[in-house]
């Protein structure tokens, strides 16, 4: 008996086979579904050398988390986009993370960018985690904007108080970059120092894109301060200090955590001696995981990272995201920004590898002890810890 | 605030830091006088020379002299190329000044764009540390860089003056500057004179970039900002007057530094733009010195 396969039957069979193949392809893809989050940092531009190190730290964290099984078997996927530390570029990056990559949470830094993208996060109900920016007004940028890094009113307050009470300085000049990072932090320093009883004899801004600060520094020199507090971006601060010394200004200089990087000593040379910086992350003595982390950098890059404390926070940031996803998974919540925010407020205390215990307060801030370090013989050495 | 020591420091530091601006202004004024080109492409030459020196010395670890020579070669080649394949063609075609102006602006922007792609926008200096030894002289900080900058600039100005006054090529350049067509009738090559002007300008901007990069840092957009100061100095000093351009550059540096005594320091950078507007509107032919104090490129001198 002959069997005849009609054309219609053949087509039906082919359609069924194609559907089966598509289903088979989809099943592994579903099983491999990743837990997405965004990382918007400067890959290019004047802040790139710091942004790249921070991205590297976060990439290591994601790899370490995924190596240990991810979050309940699901891998974290970090989508990295460039902001150039510029608000307009940051806005484009965040819009892409939300509209195209559908990330329910993203991490970003640099105060100008954090502030510029905050309205997008609030409008789209996507959780924005600021890690590294320190403008105090970040705590008031909206429901969906949280910082996991202490703001300037933490370390700058500690520094101003230390300068007055412990160092005994009474006349300070404040020199700051004329941008979001510098203006507010400089005002915080001035307010705290004056409240303590000191006098701010010069309060001078400079263009962060400038490379010659002679005029500003001459004005500071004319005010004859006992000490100079500098608050700018990490790229130009070594130049400011070097040009200060070239003008015969021998006053001790203090700055915030942005000054705690090896480039400061390399570029400013002996001009950096006596520089006081803050660190908002625990050191090797305070957290045993920091030593191996530094060794990892030396092995991979032959150096310690630019802005070591910042990279510690960026390494820990994916762990925070992983904890939020774990909460969603436990409570069967969808991966949306609203759920992420709910998870952040519910979990609110995180035990992190490199920054130890971190508590996100309801007022959108975090608080940590402030470590002070100083440059002695070309190296950063611990000076004090302010609780 | 008006303490004599502070004023003296402002004066000294302004004089020292003006050395770069003097060289940039001289280069711009020289090419304008001889070839009658508002050479905004000088910004591109400056940037290329700087980053050439940076790459040679800090990335490839060449000795300083070799790095400088590399930057100088780049500046000279670029300037010669622009003159031979750019401005000479425009002169032959009798192109409008607007066309030449657009060419120079686009060239400068293109070079800045290329440098951004190659080197990024992180500020770079020509030395790993920009510190130099400082000596206190009567309360005024005098750094080794200040002395080097002033010495080099004085030497270059003297050499330029001697070249223009006492060499045949210099005299040819004066003749072309005065009347190019008449000079041609006497057998003087205007093209060669223009090429010489561009090559001398290349050497001046390379030296200026060296001085700037050993004291401050540069990003690809910095040369365009430095150009504005050179243009203002050229206009203020009187178009055609080299020493007027040099003196104006010193004056502008002094004005910018001293201005912080009376205005907020964050406004200091915008001062040069106010001066530019004032110069264009109020002194379009420059501030004229008495004839006996003038030194122009002129067949009468």
Q: Which helix (H) or strand (E) holds A55?
A: helix A48-67
Q: Taking CB atoms and an 8 Å cutoff, what residues of chain B touch A216?
A: 260, 265, 268
pLDDT of residue A17: 63
Of B6, B120, B136, the CB nearest to A48: B120
Given an 8 Å threshold on Cβ–Cβ distance, is B268 in contact with A45? no
Domains of chain A: 35-150+289-354 (3.40.50.2300), 153-279+371-386 (3.40.50.2300)
Best of A84, A222, A235 to substitute, by most chain B Cβ atoms within 10 angstroms, is A222
Q: Which residues contact A47 (CB under 8 A, 6 or more apart)?
A: A84, A85, A110, A233, A234, A235, B122
- Does B141 contact chain A (CB < 8 Å)? yes
**pLDDT class for B301, splitting at 50, 70, 90?**
very low
pLDDT of residue A162: 96
- Does B136 contact chain A (CB < 8 Å)? yes
Q: Taking CB atoms and an 8 Å cutoff, what residues of chain B touch A248?
A: 9, 134, 136, 140-141
More confident call, B89 vs B259: B89
pLDDT at B223 exceeding the cut of 70: yes
- Helix B190-213 / helix B144-166 crossing angle, nearest 10 deg: 170
- Does B260 contact chain A (CB < 8 Å)? yes
Cα–Cα nearest to B237, from B68, B5, B28: B28
A141-157 pLDDT, tens digit each? 999 999 999 998 888 99
Reading chain A (387 residues) residue by residue, the pLDDT tens digits are 444 556 676 667 666 666 555 554 444 444 458 999 999 999 988 888 889 999 999 999 999 999 999 999 999 999 999 999 999 999 999 999 999 999 999 999 999 999 999 999 999 999 999 999 988 899 999 999 999 999 988 889 999 999 999 999 999 999 999 887 799 899 999 999 999 999 999 999 988 777 778 878 988 988 999 999 999 887 788 889 988 998 889 999 999 988 888 888 888 888 999 999 999 999 888 899 999 999 999 999 999 898 899 999 999 999 999 999 999 999 999 999 999 999 999 999 999 999 988 999 888 999 888 999 999 999 999 999 988
Q: What three-state secondary structure class fits A205?
A: strand
Q: What was the ipTM of the complex prediction?
A: 0.71
pLDDT at B152 exceeding the cut of 90: yes
Given an 8 Å threshold on Cβ–Cβ distance, is A207 in contact with B3? no
Given an 8 Å threshold on Cβ–Cβ distance, is B131 in contact with A245? yes
Of chain B, the percentage scoring pLDDT greater than 90 comes to: 60
Of A205, A211, A248, the CB nearest to B136: A248
Token pair of A251, please? 């006053």
Q: How far apart are CA B39 and CA B42, in angstroms?
A: 6
CA B213 vs CA A234, B54, B153: distances in Å: 19, 9, 15
Given an 8 Å threshold on Cβ–Cβ distance, is A211 in contact with B123? yes
Q: How far apart are CA B53 and CA B71, in angstroms?
A: 5
Q: Between chain A and chain B, how many beta carbons pairs sit less than 8 Å apart? A: 112
Token pair of B255, please? 């004005």
B84-118 pLDDT, tens digit each? 999 999 999 999 989 999 999 999 999 999 999 89
pLDDT at B54 exceeding the cut of 80: yes
Given an 8 Å threshold on Cβ–Cβ distance, is A215 in contact with B257? yes
pLDDT of residue A323: 97
Given an 8 Å threshold on Cβ–Cβ distance, is A214 in contact with B257? yes
Per-domain boundaries in chain B: 14-220
Q: If you average pLDDT over residues B128-149, what whole number do you get?
A: 88
pLDDT of residue A216: 86
A94-128 pLDDT, tens digit each? 999 999 999 999 999 999 999 999 999 999 999 99
Given an 8 Å threshold on Cβ–Cβ distance, is A246 in contact with B123? no
- Helix B4-35 / helix B222-236 crossing angle, nearest 10 deg: 80
Q: Calculate the CA A140 to chain-centre distance.
A: 18
pLDDT of residue A239: 87
pLDDT of residue A335: 96
More confident call, B47 vs B121: B47
DSSP letter (8 states) at residue A172: E
pLDDT at B170 exceeding the cut of 60: yes
C-beta neighbour count of B125 within 10 angstroms: 22
pLDDT of residue A26: 47
B179-221 pLDDT, tens digit each? 888 888 989 899 999 999 999 999 999 999 999 999 888 889 8
Q: How far apart are CA A134 and CA B146, in angstroms?
A: 37
Contact assessment for residue B46 and residue B52, using Cβ atoms and an 8 Å cutoff? no
What are phi and psi for residue A255, nearest 5 degrees? -155, 175
- Does B257 contact chain A (CB < 8 Å)? yes
Token pair of A140, please? 């008031």
């Amino acid at each position: 008996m002959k069997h005849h396969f009609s054309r219609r039957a053949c087509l039906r069979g082919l359609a069924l086979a194609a559907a089966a193949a598509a289903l088979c392809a989809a099943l592994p893809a579903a099983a491999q579904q990743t837990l997405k989050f965004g990382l918007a940092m400067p890959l290019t531009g004047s802040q790139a050398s710091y942004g790249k190190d921070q991205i590297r730290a976060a990439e290591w964290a994601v790899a370490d988390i995924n190596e240990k099984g991810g979050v309940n078997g699901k891998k974290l996927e970090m989508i990295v986009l460039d902001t150039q530390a510029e608000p307009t570029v940051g806005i484009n990056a965040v819009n892409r993370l939300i509209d195209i990559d559908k990330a329910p949470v993203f991490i970003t830094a640099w105060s100008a960018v954090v502030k510029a993208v905050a309205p997008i996060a609030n409008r789209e109900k996507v959780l924005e985690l600021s890690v590294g920016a320190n403008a105090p007004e970040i705590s008031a940028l909206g429901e969906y904007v949280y910082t996991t890094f202490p703001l300037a009113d933490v370390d700058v307050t500690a520094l101003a108080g230390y300068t007055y009470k412990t160092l005994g300085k009474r006349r300070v000049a404040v020199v700051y970059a004329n941008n979001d990072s510098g203006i507010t932090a400089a005002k915080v320093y001035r307010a705290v120092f004056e409240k303590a009883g000191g006098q701010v004899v010069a309060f001078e801004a400079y263009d962060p894109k400038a490379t010659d600060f002679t005029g500003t520094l001459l004005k500071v020199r004319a005010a004859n301060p006992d000490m100079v507090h500098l608050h700018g971006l990490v790229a130009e601060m070594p130049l400011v200090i070097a040009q200060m010394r070239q003008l015969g200004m021998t006053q001790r200089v203090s700055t915030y955590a942005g000054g705690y990087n090896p480039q400061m000593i390399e570029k400013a040379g002996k001009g950096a001696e006596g520089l006081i910086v803050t660190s908002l992350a625990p050191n090797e003595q305070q957290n045993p995981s920091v030593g191996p982390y530094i060794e990892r950098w030396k092995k991979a890059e032959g150096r310690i990272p630019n802005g070591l404390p910042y990279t510690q926070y960026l390494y820990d940031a994916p762990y925070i995201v992983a904890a939020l996803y774990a909460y969603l998974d436990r409570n069967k919540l969808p991966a949306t920004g609203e759920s992420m925010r709910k998870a952040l407020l519910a979990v609110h205390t995180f035990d992190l590898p490199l920054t130890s215990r971190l508590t996100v307060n309801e007022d959108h801030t975090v608080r940590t002890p402030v470590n002070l370090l100083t440059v002695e013989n070309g190296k950063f050495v611990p000076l004090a810890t302010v609780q | 605030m008006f303490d004599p020591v502070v004023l003296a420091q402002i004066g000294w530091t302004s004089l020292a830091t003006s050395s770069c601006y003097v060289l940039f202004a001289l280069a711009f004024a020289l090419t304008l006088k001889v070839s009658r080109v508002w050479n905004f492409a000088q910004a591109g030459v400056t940037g290329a020379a700087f980053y050439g020196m940076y790459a040679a010395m800090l990335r490839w670890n060449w000795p300083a002299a070799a790095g400088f020579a590399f930057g100088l070669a780049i500046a000279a080649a670029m300037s010669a190329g622009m003159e031979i394949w750019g401005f000479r063609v425009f002169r032959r075609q009798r192109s409008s000044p607007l066309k030449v102006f657009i060419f120079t602006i686009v060239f400068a922007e293109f070079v800045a764009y290329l440098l951004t792609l190659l080197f990024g926008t992180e500020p770079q200096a020509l030395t790993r540390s920009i510190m130099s030894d400082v000596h206190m002289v009567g309360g005024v900080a005098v750094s080794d860089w200040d002395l080097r900058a002033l010495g080099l600039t004085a030497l270059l100005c003297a050499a330029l003056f001697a070249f223009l006054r006492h060499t045949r090529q210099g005299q040819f350049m004066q003749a072309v500057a005065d009347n190019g067509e008449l000079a041609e009738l006497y057998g003087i090559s205007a093209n060669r004179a223009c090429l010489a002007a561009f090559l001398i300008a290349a050497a001046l901007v390379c030296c200026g970039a060296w001085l700037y990069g050993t004291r401050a840092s540069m990003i690809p957009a910095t040369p365009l900002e430095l150009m504005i100061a050179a243009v203002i100095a050229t206009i203020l000093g009187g178009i055609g007057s080299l020493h007027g351009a040099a003196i104006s550059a010193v004056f502008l540096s002094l004005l910018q530094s001293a201005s912080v005594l009376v205005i907020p320091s964050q406004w200091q950078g915008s001062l040069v733009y106010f001066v530019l507007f004032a110069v264009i509107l109020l002194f379009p032919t420059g501030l004229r010195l008495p004839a006996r104090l003038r030194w122009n490129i002129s067949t009468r001198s």
